[in-house]
Amino acid sequence: MKTLRLIPIWASICLIAIGCGPDSHSFRMNGSINGMSGGDLFVYNLDDDNGRLDTIHIKDGEFRYAGTISQPTIYTIVFPNALEQDFVVLGGDEITYKAKANDLRNFEVGGNEENDILNTFRRETKGMNKDKERATAKDFINMHPQSLAAIALFSRYFVNDNLESHDCKTLLQTLMKKQPKNTYLMKISGELKKVETGKTGTEVPQLTLETKKGKKVDIKDKSKPWTLIFFWATWHSNGYEFLNAARTIARDNEDKLHCVGISLDNQIYQWEGVTKPDSLIIDHCCDGMAWENKAVQELGVTTLPMFYLIDSNHKIVVSGSDKEEMISEVRKKVK
């Protein structure tokens, strides 16, 4: 009878133990680093756009970490020497981590099949040079395009290395076919589109701007065979030089060239006085949004000054940030 009374108590203890585990929106990680008695590591989530870093404290070679997730995702551990290690987390996971302080690159992570794939990749690439390792990563991604492990390798070896490379673009397409709703892949796709939009040979996006006087400015206006768009600001060290170069170009090619100046000044008064003499030869626009300006976003402008020469088919023929190049290219092409 005494034994029977103990059964409900033991069952309750088991239920409590199970209930204390991570739910579908959380995970726990238990790690050990042989030979590292103490110190701090950092960890971040690849899907976190805010770039938030959490701290992991190591004591007697061991650490514990718990986190919450909204979807299956990839985490990265960062060591003080900037070495980064990726692992995959699914909701409810109990992640295990093992490494040696004198051989950190060959760590092992358990807890799900995704991490098993990454473990296999690390074992197979041990001792390889960078080019061979990258080629193997490409093969792994093509073999496992439906996995988060493939995204981890894609981020590490291709996005971080060269977003605009042919391999990066091709692998992104492969991954998005299998994981079209993955937020990280969608973010990278958006970044790539921004970078490629303003490239030579691409069509300029449809943009309608407005001058201070309310005149609508269509970037794809067909009244003249050529369009020159230049981005500048009064606060930039080369701003006035670039503006003066654009003035010369606009005057010399008034019958063939539609010239549009977009200022990244925050306040209209900072540029309106300077640009008044140009009202007949240049359409000056400034919405006070600076780097958030729609044209800046659509054309992927990342530096000042910047120009784009556009032909009658609305294709970008040449772009750059040097005023001498701008003058030279316009003279050669706008005849």
From first to last of its 335 residues, the chain has per-residue pLDDT tens of: 333 343 344 334 433 444 466 788 899 999 999 999 999 999 999 888 767 889 999 999 999 999 999 899 999 999 988 899 999 999 999 999 999 999 999 999 999 999 999 999 999 999 999 999 999 999 999 999 999 999 999 999 999 888 778 999 999 999 999 999 998 998 888 888 777 777 777 888 888 898 888 889 988 888 899 999 999 999 988 899 999 999 999 999 999 999 999 999 988 777 888 898 888 899 999 988 888 888 988 888 878 999 999 999 999 999 988 999 999 999 999 87
Please tell me the predicted confidence (pLDDT) of residue 20.
61
Please tell me the predicted confidence (pLDDT) of residue 301.
85
22-116 and 208-333 agree in CATH topology: no
For residues 280-291, one letter each, b for 16 or more C-beta atoms within 10 angstroms of the residue's C-beta and e for the rest, the string is ebbbbbbbeeee
The set of long-range contacts for 144-150, using a CB threshold of 8 Å and a minimum separation of 24, is 144/117, 145/174, 145/175, 145/177, 145/178, 145/179, 146/178, 146/179, 147/114, 147/117, 148/72, 148/73, 148/74, 148/88, 148/114, 149/88, 149/114, 149/115, 149/117, 149/118, 149/121, 150/117, 150/175
CB under 8 Å to 74, separation ≥6 — which residues?
45, 46, 47, 86, 87, 88, 89, 148, 151, 152, 155, 184
In this structure, what token pair is assigned to residue 196?
Answer: 């490629």
The set of long-range contacts for 114-119, using a CB threshold of 8 Å and a minimum separation of 24, is 114/88, 114/90, 114/147, 114/148, 114/149, 115/87, 115/88, 115/149, 117/144, 117/147, 117/149, 117/150, 118/86, 118/87, 118/88, 118/149, 118/152, 118/153
In this structure, what token pair is assigned to residue 48?
Answer: 């976190």
Region of 122 (left: φ > 0; alpha: ψ -120 to 50; beta: rest) is alpha
Please tell me the predicted confidence (pLDDT) of residue 297.
83
Rounded to an integer, what distance in angstroms lies between the CA atom of residue 222 and that of residue 232? 24
Residue 321 in contact with residue 306, Cβ under 8 Å? yes
CB atoms within 10 A of CB 251: 14
Rounded to an integer, what distance in angstroms lies between the CA atom of residue 270 and that of residue 24? 54
CATH for 22-116 is 2.60.40
The 8-class DSSP code of residue 203 comes to: B
The 8-class DSSP code of residue 181 comes to: T
In this structure, what token pair is assigned to residue 239?
Answer: 């701003």
In this structure, what token pair is assigned to residue 113?
Answer: 């099949």
Rounded to an integer, what distance in angstroms lies between the CA atom of residue 8 and that of residue 16? 12
Please tell me the predicted confidence (pLDDT) of residue 74.
96
DSSP H stretches of helix in the chain? 2-19, 113-125, 130-143, 148-154, 166-178, 183-197, 239-252, 269-275, 294-299, 323-333
CB under 8 Å to 12, separation ≥6 — which residues?
none
Which homologous superfamily does the CATH classification assign to the domain defined by 208-333? Glutaredoxin (3.40.30.10)
Tell me the domain boundaries of the chain: 22-116, 127-197, 208-333
